[in-house]
Structures are given as C-alpha cells and as structure tokens.
Structure 1
Amino acid sequence: MKTNQPIMNEQSRGVFVIAATPFTDSGEVDLESIDSLTEFYLEKGVSGMTVLGMMGEAPKLSESETTLVMERFLKRVNGRVPVTVGVSSASNLRLERLSKEAMSLGAAGVMVAPISNLKLDEQVYGYFTTVANLLGKEIPICLQDFPQATGVHMSVNVINQLTDDFSQVVMLKHEDFPGMRKLSQIREQSKASNRRRISILVGNGGLFLPQEMLRGADGAMTGFAYPEMLVQVCDLFDAGKPKEAEDLFNIYLPLLRHEFQYGIGLALRKETLRRRGAIKSAFVRRPGPVLDAKDLDELSALISRLDFELA
C-alpha cells in the first residue's frame, strides 16, 4: 500500500462513478482516452471512481490488459480521489493477486461480488468470510449486492453479520432490484442494534437515487454519462434540500432511464461519453451491443431534449 493514498471507508459519501473502459475503434485499450475520461469525471466533481466494474467490461480484458487499465487510471487520478477496483473472480487466487496489486498501485479498496449459484445464507457468508480472511484487515472491502448479474441473494442478516465480523467491510454497493426496503432494513437494524454504520452507495444506473437517499444511502456508485447530475443531487440532499434534488433529477430522468436499458445501455453510455468529448470511440467489445441508426437518432433526441430543459 502506498503512503498517504486515499482509503475507502465507512464515511465515504457522494458519487464513486463507475468508469467505462475506453477502446479504440479496432478494439484495443485506449490509454489516452483513459486519461481524458478520468479528467472528465474529476471535472464533474465525483468523490471517487470505481474501475474494472461489470459495466467497465472487466471480464473482456486479458490479465495484462486488466493490470494496464487499472494502472493507467490510478496513475492519472494520482490520489486526487479514492479509487475502488473491482476484483470479483471465480478464482480466489486471481482475486487475491488483483486486490493486492491494486492496493500496491494506490487503490483505496476493492469491490467483491459473490460467485454465482450461492443459494443459502450460510454459503454467502462463508464465501465472503473466505475472501475477508484471504485479503486481511488492511484491504477495505465493498460488498457488491447485484443479484440481477450474480443470481445470488444477499440477505439483510448476512450483510449485518459480515459488517459485525469483519472490520474491513466498510461499504455496500446496493443494487438489488427492487431493493429500497432492504436499504431501509439495513439502516433501521443497524441503528436499533447500535451496529457499526457502513457506507452504502447505490447502483442500478441511479434510477432510484432520490428515494434511496431518503432511505439512508450515502451516494451513488454508477456510471451515468452525466455524472454532474448525480453529484449535484447528492450535494442537495446533504444540504437538506430533497425537493430541489428531485426536481433536478427529474430533468435528466428520461435520458437516465434510456441509458439504463439492459443489453444496450453500455453502448448508449459510451456513445454519450464520446459525444461529450470524454473518450474518442464508443466501441464496446464483443459480446456486446452495437447501436444502429434508429438507436443513435433516439439518443440524439433525448440529449436535445435535455439540453432544452437545462437551458
């Protein structure tokens, strides 16, 4: 671990934007676009970044590319905000290696989703117990609760037990769908039991961000191509202005909802980032969606509508 590097902890708040992984039109990792994308996110006021997430196309990268992408993002950020690295893997050896490599390069912590097909609470708890013991107490862990992708249900009881038993569990990425009741239960039970309060950042494209903030979320961990909106909404909630926050959110909602579509959403996000000058190419590695003329026209219309509403 580097000296004085930012650390992800229980007090983490705001927007930890999920970074896209830029490629050239021929499908190679685009290092220059990693630099420009990083500056784009930081200029929009994000509190942190998350790289090699599921929406960052991490499973499509080779081992050497994984290290290259992680290293380039961390070098460009250069400690300005904490960077969380997605390290989920079916291989415990790979998960351990990538986690320790990430921390040695300056990461603030790691994000881990459960391996697929864990059915019982005991199995989910056992898996994360193995991970926590493997990584040790010095590496902060964000639990990724994303049953739509993993097929694993993480109960409130399991999340609470992991929080109680492992001090390195400092954050939950809350992406159950629908999951707002789960969020309320975690906060209510934590307060009633005088349990350690961990940071909760929400995903699902930010689609339910105002309601989730009212239920106790600390911010968002998602990759909407207009991260400044997410930042402003979180800031307004922190300032005690929930109505103003929701009014602002609603202006962007048609585009946010459009980008959230399963299957095609990543391509829409990268195309929007390209149009905003953050990356050079909207290329999505196979298997992945390719936008057609109708898709591009729809996106143009929604962006034009947003520009009109903001004006």
Structure 2
Amino acid sequence: MTRPVNTAAMRGVFPVAPTIFDDAGQLDLEGQKRCIDFMIDAGSNGLCILANFSEQFALSDEERETLMHVVLEHVAGRVPVIVTTTHFSSHQCAERSRRAQAAGAAMVMIMPPYHGATIRIGERGIEEFYRTVSDAIDIPIMIQDAPVSGTPLSAPFLARMANEIEHVSYFKIEVPQAANKLRELIQLGGDAIVGPWDGEEAITLMADLDAGATGSMTGGGYADGIRLIVDAYAAGDTEAAAAHYQQWLPLINCENRQGGLASCKALMKEGGVIRSDAVRHPLPAMHPATREGLLKVARRLDPLVLRWAH
C-alpha cells in the first residue's frame, strides 16, 4: 500500500511534557496545567504526554487516564497532542490507543513490545502487534525506535510496516547513528514515511535534519530554543540553523548526558512554572551540583522557562 503525500503531516517541535508531582510524589494537576501552558507559550508545535521522559513507567493506569484527560481538556485543541500508549499486550495497547483517540489525541506513540532485559518479540509478532493497534484506531501511529526497548527494528522492516499497516506512518528514531537510519528509512519507505522524526533530546538534531527529519521530540524545557534551529532549517537557512544549534547544544548536552528527565523540571521550578521538581521514587533527585551546572548553562541562553512566570 503506497500513500499519497500527506500535506497535513505533523512536523516541527513536539516536546515531551513531564509529569508534575508535588514534593510527596503525588500528581500536581494544577502544576501540570501550568507546565502545559508554558510549553505552548514557548512555541511547541505540539506536545507528547505519557512518554518515558514523562515517567510513564512510574504511573498507575488510573493516573495515566487522569493525566490524559486533564491535559487534553486543558490543551483544548491549541496544539496537537501525541499520547504514548506503549504496553506489552497487543490488546491493552489497542485499548489504550482507542481511549486516547476518543479523548482527542492527534496521534499515539508506541514502542515495540518488550519486558525486562530478556523478553523480546520477533518481527512477525511485532508486525501483528502494530496491526492490531492500527485496526483499533483512525489516527496515526508513531513507532518509537529507542534503545530502551532492546528490540532491533531495521529500516527495511519499519518501511515494510509503513507500507503495509494503515496507520503506521511516523517514526521517532533515537538509536545510535539515527541519521543514517532516517535516511535509509525515507529512501525505502517513500511516501509511506509521513513523519521521520528524531528524539533523544535533539542531541543529533542537525545530522537528523540533514537526513530528512521533519519533526523533533525533545525535552520540555526550552522549545523556544529548539524552534530556532528547526524553523531556520525548514526555511532553507541551514547556516543559521547550525549557528543556533551550536548555541543551544551545551544545554541540550546537559539534559541528554547529565540531568536526564529531571532537567526540564529543574528548569521549570527555577522559573516558577511549577512548585516542585520532584521525580517519582525510586528515581533519584537531581544532584545539587548537576542542577547548578544545568542552570548556569541555561542562564547564558535566557530561555523563556526562566522568565515565563515573572
């Protein structure tokens, strides 16, 4: 099955929204709404919720449902929202995806089924898994190709699924040498690859844009900075894009290599967007020295996150 070019394809900067907790580790829904408002004001073309950088693995099913509805109702169509619905079970993933669509999700993002360090599924089972989900919904599926799943997904296999499974059309590639994989995927999949995206906090963004990426799923703290890079590149000014990338790369590096998923929360708390930057135990709190290093780099760039609440 070969699709015509989708002129309404989602593209640009779609950061992952963190899940906001209070200091006791409970959901802070008012803080969550402020986080979402900031991320939209910072220039996010869209948002992703319930992803790994949202600590989705530390949430109960009931909390996931609550967050999904609170966020989608609060966004109220201002930007498209991607809902992560990853689950090992084909049936449960299809059910999660169906509920996300009913709640207003623009797309679902799903890793291939895996469990622990050793339970993996072969290509036939993975293909059946995504087909089961696709048959249950009418919105696009983004396959998240990330090392955390421990599941090799070759570019020919991804391209085949794009051509043969109706709603499989977006791909978040965040494995080593992502640019090479994006380039091969686009070449093999043609028009079926509606959205070749990069991830991993934009640490390889310029190479991935050069390879044909049309979207980037980054951390949630500084979409305004990532937009400078992506917008310049989309406008054909690759030199300006490279200059912006070099400017923001130290902060990208701090998030990707030092602070991890706690980074955007630290930035949001420092700027008064949220009251607590707590991550959910047993994740460790950010070391004070790591936090100070992150903020030192951020202050040189003056991102909106440090000014939004003032």
Name the structure 2 match of 1:205.
201
Which shifted more, 155-164 or 87-96? 87-96
Match of 1:48 in 2: 46
Give the Å deviation of 1:92.
2.7
Alignment partners' CA distance in 1, 2:293 and 2:131: 45
Deviations 1:134-183 (A, max 9, x none): 4415132111100x201111101111110110121121011112221111
What is the CA-CA distance between 1:246 and the residue it aligns to?
1.2
1:156-235 alignment to 2 at 5 Å? 156-191=155-190, 195-235=191-231
Q: String of CA shifts for 1:234-255, please: whole Å, max 9, x gaps.
A: 1111111011011011111111
Q: Give the length in aligned residue pairs.
A: 294
Q: Deviations over 1:61-116 (max 9, x none)?
A: 11111101111110111111111111111233321221111111111121110122
Q: Is the 8 A contact 2:170 2:194 kept in 1?
A: yes
Q: Which residue of 1 aligns with 2:98?
A: 100
Residue in 1 that maps onto 2:306 = none
Letter in 2 for 1:46: S
2: distance between equivalents of 1:50 and 1:81?
10
For 2:273 and 2:125, how far apart are their aligned partners in 1?
A: 41
Q: Which residue of 1 aligns with 2:89?
A: 91
Q: Partner of 2:16 in structure 1?
A: 18
Which whole-Å CA distance do the structure 1 matches of 2:124 and 2:161 have between them? 7
Which residue does the alignment assign to 2:140?
A: 140
Q: Please tell me whether the aligned partners of residues 49 and 81 of structure 1 are also in contact (alpha carbons under 8 angstroms).
A: yes
Equivalent position amino acid for 2:15 in 1: V
What corresponds to 2:290 in structure 1? Answer: 295
Contact 2:72 2:105 in 1 (8 A): yes
Q: Flag the 1:40–1:125 CA change in 2: closer, same or farther, 3 A.
A: farther
Partner of 1:159, secondary structure, is: helix
RMSD, aligned CA: 2.1
Give secondary structure in 2 for the equivalent of 1:278: coil
Q: C-alpha separation between the residues in 2 aligned to 1:115 and 1:221?
A: 21
Distance 1:287 1:261 in 2: 20
Looking at structure 2, the residues matched to 74 and 237 of structure 1 have their Cα atoms a distance apart, in angstroms, of 30
Q: Deviations over 1:245-303 (max 9, x none)?
A: 110111111111011126x4112221012223332210000121212332232223222
Judge conservation of contact 1:9–1:171 (CA < 8 Å) in 2: no
Match of 1:130? Answer: 129
Q: Quick one: which of 77, 80, 86 aligns to 2:78?
A: 80
1:294 & 1:129 partners in 2: Cα distance? 47
Q: Which runs of 4+ in 1 moved over 3 A?
A: 117-120
Distance 1:130 1:90, change over 3 A: closer
Distance 1:291 1:279 in 2: 16
Q: Could you tell me which amino acid in structure 1 is paired with residue 187 of structure 2? A: E
Task: Tell me the CA shift for residue 10 of structure 1.
Answer: 7.1
Quick one: which amino acid aligns to residue 276 of structure 1? G
1:22-41 equivalences in 2 (<5 Å): 22-41=20-39
Cα contact 2:143–2:168 (8 A) shared by 1: yes
Distance 1:202 1:96 in 2: 24
CA contact (8 A) 2:47 2:80 kept: yes
Tell whether 2:232 aligns with 1:236.
yes
- 2:287 and 2:183 map into 1 onto residues whose CA distance is 41
d(CA) in 2 for partners of 1:182 and 1:241? 24
Distance in 1 (CA, whole Å) between partners of 2:200 and 2:134 is 27
Q: Hey, what's the Cα distance between the residues in 1 that align with 2:279 and 2:7?
A: 32
Question: In the alignment, is residue 109 of structure 1 matched against residue 107 of structure 2?
Answer: yes
- In structure 1, what is the equivalent of residue 307 of structure 2? none
Counting aligned pairs with the same residue, the percent is: 28
2:169 touches 2:192 (CA, 8 Å); kept in 1?
no
Q: Identify unmatched segments of 5+ residues in structure 1.
A: 1-7
